[in-house]
Chain A
Amino acid sequence: MEFPIFRPVADHAVLVEFGEDITDDAHAHVLNLDRALSSAPFTGFKEAIPAFVNLLVDFDPLLTDHSTVETALRHLMRLPASEQSQSQHREVLVCYEDLFAKDLAAIAHHTGLSQEAVINAHLAGDYKIYMYGFAPGYAYMAGTPKSIQLARKPSPVRGIEAGSVIIAGAQCLVTTLTMPTGWWVLGRSPTRILTDNPHQPFLFDVGDHITFRRISLAEYEAAKAQ
Chain B
Amino acid sequence: MAIKVVSPGLSTTVQDLGRPGYYHIGIPLSGAMDRAAMAAANLLVGNEESAAGLEVVFMGPELEFMLPSVVAITGGEIPPKLNGTPCETWTSFAVKAGDVLSFDFLKAGARAYIAIAGGIDVPVVLGSRSTYTLGALGGHQGRKLQTGDILPVGSTPSKARAGRTLDQKLRRQSTSPAELRMLPGLYWHRVTEAAGKHFLSDTWKVAPEADRIGYRFRGGRPIEFMPRTPPFGAGSDPSNIVDACYPYGSIQIPSGTEPIVLHRDAVSGGGYFMVGAVISADMDLIAQLQPHMPARFVAVDMPTALAARKDMNAQAAAVRAVLQL
Residues of chain B with a CB closer than 8 A to A151's CB? 235-236
Residue B148 lies at the interface, judged by CB distance under 8 Å to chain A: no
Q: Which of B79-127 touch A at CB < 8 Å?
A: 126
A21 pairs with B242, CB closer than 8 A: yes
- Whether, in the assembled complex, A110 has its beta carbon less than 8 Å from a beta carbon of chain B, the answer is no
Instruction: Indicate if the CB atoms of B242 and A10 lie closer than 8 Å.
Output: no
- Known contacts: A21-B233, A52-B233, A62-B310. The answer to whether A134 contacts B268 by CB under 8 A is yes
Q: In whole Å, how far is A59's beta carbon from the nearest beta carbon of chain B? A: 11
Contact B236–A8 (Cβ < 8 Å): no
Output the residue of B25, B235, B270, B277 with the most chain A CB within 10 A. Answer: B25
Contact call A62/B277, Cβ cutoff below 8 A: no
Report yes or no: B233 in contact with A169, Cβ–Cβ below 8 A.
yes
Contacts of B279 in A (CB 8 A): 10-11
Most buried by A among B132, B235, B240: B235
- Docked Cα-Cα span, A8 to B234, in Å, equals 22
Asked whether, in the complex, the Cβ of A61 is within 8 Å of the Cβ of B23, the reply is no
Q: Binding site of B, secondary structure by majority: helix, strand, loop or mixed? A: mixed
Give the contact stretch, choosing among A41-49, A89-97, A213-221.
A41-49
Q: Is the CB of B242 within 8 A of A47?
A: no
Do B137 and A8 have beta carbons less than 8 Å apart? no
Chain B: residues with Cβ within 8 Å of the partner, total of 47
**B258-304: which residues lie under 8 A (CB-CB) from chain A?**
267-271, 274, 277, 279-280, 302
- Assess A22 versus B233: contact at CB under 8 Å? Given A48-B24, A177-B135: yes
Q: Are B21 and A47 in contact (CB under 8 A)?
A: yes
- Please pick, from A22, A66, A134, A142, the residue contacting B269 in the complex, using a CB distance under 8 A: A134
Residues on B with C-beta less than 8 A from A21 are: 231-233, 242
Interface residues on A, range: 35 or more
Interfacial chain B residues near A58, Cβ < 8 Å: 23, 247
**What B residues does A48 contact at CB under 8 A?**
24
B236 touches A56 (CB 8 A): no
Cβ-defined contact, B135 with A135, below 8 A: yes
Residue of B whose beta carbon sits closest to that of A17: B244
Task: Pick from A11, A52, A132, A136: contact of B280, CB below 8 A.
Answer: A11
Establish whether residues A169 and B235, one from each chain, have CB atoms under 8 Å apart when the complex forms.
yes
Quote the shortest CB–CB distance from B303 to chain A (angstroms).
10
Known: A21-B231, A61-B306, A66-B302. A51 touches B244 (CB 8 A): yes
Contact A54 to B244, CB < 8 A, known contacts A11-B277, A135-B135 = yes
Q: A49-B245, A132-B268, A202-B25 are in contact. Are A20 and B231 (CB under 8 A)?
A: yes
Q: Which B residues are closer than 8 A to A by beta carbons?
A: 20-27, 126, 132, 134-135, 137, 183, 185-186, 231-237, 240, 242-245, 247-250, 267-271, 274, 277, 279-280, 302, 305-306, 309-310, 313
Which A-B residue pairs are the 5 nearest by beta carbons? Answer: A133-B269, A10-B277, A152-B235, A56-B245, A11-B305
20 contacts between A and B (CB under 8 A): A8-B183, A8-B185, A10-B185, A10-B248, A10-B250, A11-B279, A11-B280, A11-B309, A52-B244, A54-B242, A56-B244, A62-B310, A131-B269, A132-B269, A133-B267, A134-B26, A136-B137, A140-B269, A151-B235, A152-B271
